[in-house]
Structure 1
């Protein structure tokens, strides 16, 4: 088999055989296929796409190139939740303890933030003492004892994807739907869960800006999961504004705690219940989504979800006192309120810009090796459609220095548009791919 022939087949819109997929993945791993040929193949896929069968074969083969987690020692059906990334998306911090409180084990590998999106691992590490590096034995023991555990991805998880992504990043093929789908799902498959609930973000603060793009990605990821014998469902959710109000690691943990107390933003609570309900149904704990959602609502109202969060923190070495006293979380020294110069309805937030402002304050990283500051970020006080009076505070900026705070406030002000009439109301949950 020659790579030039494989490239030509995809260039001409033909479907790869399983043997060709195996050849490509092996060549990625052992370096036998040079970068210029892989780049040509990526561009051919960008224009010609992949069938669900091709994508499944690619994801399964890539998952097998590194560590694969065997979750069979844990009881019950294990369901993972994945988000394609957004601004202020801290649903895992709410969903995981609620689902665990419902009796479904949550054993999850999660990533760090990059660019304008935040990572769950970074958020958890803002909790004093919280350990995100556990051995599998430690992780399994914790999940068996308290029902929930989350760790960072291992360094040898899907090494084929690392090389392929680095190449896509410099060849203009990052936006290829099939390559995004196989990248995400290869890591999900390697994580060992029995099923997946995929939160596919749509809008200004998401990687995918249109519903059409998001539907294509969701459909392909669901097909990959099901074709690999995993229960899979996708939820399309709106990311035209930050989820909740907080953007930044410790600030988002505070908001997750408030939500588990029943005092959080309505959109964060709603999406967390929607995603958690899908997890319960896939796990077989409930047959109907509405019943599952009501069950999680009861666990939230009773405080059982909050208590599960405290046990989770303590189990991984963190300070569980933050549940009752969030002031123990780090908070930036300089806080500046952003005041509106005029009255009007909030018509638009440049949501991706808000994520980048938070990143530049130190809450995120432009490169994987960049350090982050857990104490900084933004709190967006006004949601789309809210009325704002002239001089009213629309946001707060938490920064390391006064100069950074003032600069961030000016950037936030430039990221909002006010109008004399409210914008059309969009649903938080746009649709489902089942």
Structure 2
């Protein structure tokens, strides 16, 4: 196959085949596709767009460009992703809360983009914590503790790592198709049985309008479900911070307060809403309301704080 032919198809408004997208993703990972060709591909996708079958094919091709994790655990494996926003430290409560309720959560997270820290940045604000670990250790921690929050290794979706850097310097970051493939290629590489997405909207989020947030949520849900992963999205408000204090270390302190104070707060409310959906998917709650109540009870009891410490 030839990168130029694939780019030309996109430029004319056509849709590359699944085989062509698989070849292109592998070329991104092994260097056979040049930076110039990767940039032209990103721009063509940004301008012409991908139809849903091609979007799903690109996502899976980028996932399969590296390692795909496999699990042998005595319970459901599930995950969550947020599109990010100011004071969004929900993952630090959600992963141990779900683990406390019987769900395994091997969460491969990212660093901050733009004006706010990412989940890994927040974890590394805790003295002595490292988030770059081997896949073998990730498996051990997840099996023992029930959850882990770690960074991706170089073998998780390497095609995305390459294309992401190209997008950043070619003004193609905002492409809905490329955002979808980037997020899901990494999440699906962890092989969750179900996924919940927190799509932020507002002044502190990447998506500023409800129309933009709905379009991204629909793209992510349709693509992930099409790839065989049960996926639900919530659109949540980011016109004000979730946490009362901002900054990596301060947000960890907010998490500790939420885990130990024994009283409701916005962090617990949104964590319960997202986690409750996954408990329903796991068959551990009759519906999302019961799931949210189970998560809230676990958080207010203080049990999740111990799980987080482990």
TM range (shorter): over 0.9
- For 2:63, the equivalent position in structure 1 comes to 63
Q: Which moved more, 1:146-155 or 1:268-277?
A: 146-155
Q: CA deviation at 1:208?
A: 1.6
- Note the alpha carbon deviations across 1:228-254, whole angstroms, 9 max, x for none: 111111111111121121211221111
- For 1:11, the equivalent position in structure 2 comes to 11
Alpha-carbon spacing, 1:106–1:31, altered in 2? closer, same or farther (3 Å)? closer
Alpha-carbon spacing, 1:137–1:257, altered in 2? closer, same or farther (3 Å)? same
**TM-score, length-scaled by structure 2:** 0.93
Alpha-carbon spacing, 1:139–1:163, altered in 2? closer, same or farther (3 Å)? closer
Contact 2:87 2:251 in 1 (8 A): yes
Q: What SS class does the counterpart of residue 233 from structure 2 fall into? A: strand
> Partners in 2 of 1:176 and 1:242 — Cα distance?
26
- For 2:246, the equivalent position in structure 1 comes to 247
- For 1:153, the equivalent position in structure 2 comes to 152
Q: CA deviation at 1:309?
A: 2.0
Q: Which moved more, 1:193-202 or 1:22-31?
A: 22-31
Q: CA deviation at 1:262?
A: 4.3
> Partners in 2 of 1:128 and 1:17 — Cα distance?
48
Contact 2:263 2:300 in 1 (8 A): no
Q: What SS class does the counterpart of residue 234 from structure 1 fall into? A: strand
Q: Which moved more, 1:9-18 or 1:154-163?
A: 9-18
> Partners in 1 of 2:150 and 2:251 — Cα distance?
18
- For 1:300, the equivalent position in structure 2 comes to 299
Alpha-carbon spacing, 1:8–1:132, altered in 2? closer, same or farther (3 Å)? closer
List gaps (5 residues or longer) in structure 2: none
Aligned residues: 310
Alpha-carbon spacing, 1:142–1:30, altered in 2? closer, same or farther (3 Å)? closer
> Partners in 1 of 2:178 and 2:140 — Cα distance?
35
Q: What SS class does the counterpart of residue 129 from structure 1 fall into? A: coil
- For 1:237, the equivalent position in structure 2 comes to 236
Q: What SS class does the counterpart of residue 174 from structure 2 fall into? A: coil
- Between the two structures, name the one with larger relative contact order (CA 8 Å, sep ≥ 6): 2
Q: Give every structure 1 segment of 4 or more consecutive aligned residues whose post-TM-superposition deviation is greater than 4 Å.
A: 262-265
- For 2:220, the equivalent position in structure 1 comes to 221
Contact 1:98 1:300 in 2 (8 A): yes
Greater strand content: 1
Alpha-carbon spacing, 1:306–1:227, altered in 2? closer, same or farther (3 Å)? same
Q: What SS class does the counterpart of residue 33 from structure 1 fall into? A: coil
> Partners in 2 of 1:265 and 1:293 — Cα distance?
13
Backbone CA RMSD of aligned residues: 1.9
User: For 1:363-378, what aligned pairs fall within 5 Å after superposition?
Assistant: none
Greater helix content: 2
Contact 1:244 1:265 in 2 (8 A): no
Q: CA deviation at 1:264?
A: 6.9
**TM-score, length-scaled by structure 1:** 0.67
- For 1:109, the equivalent position in structure 2 comes to 108
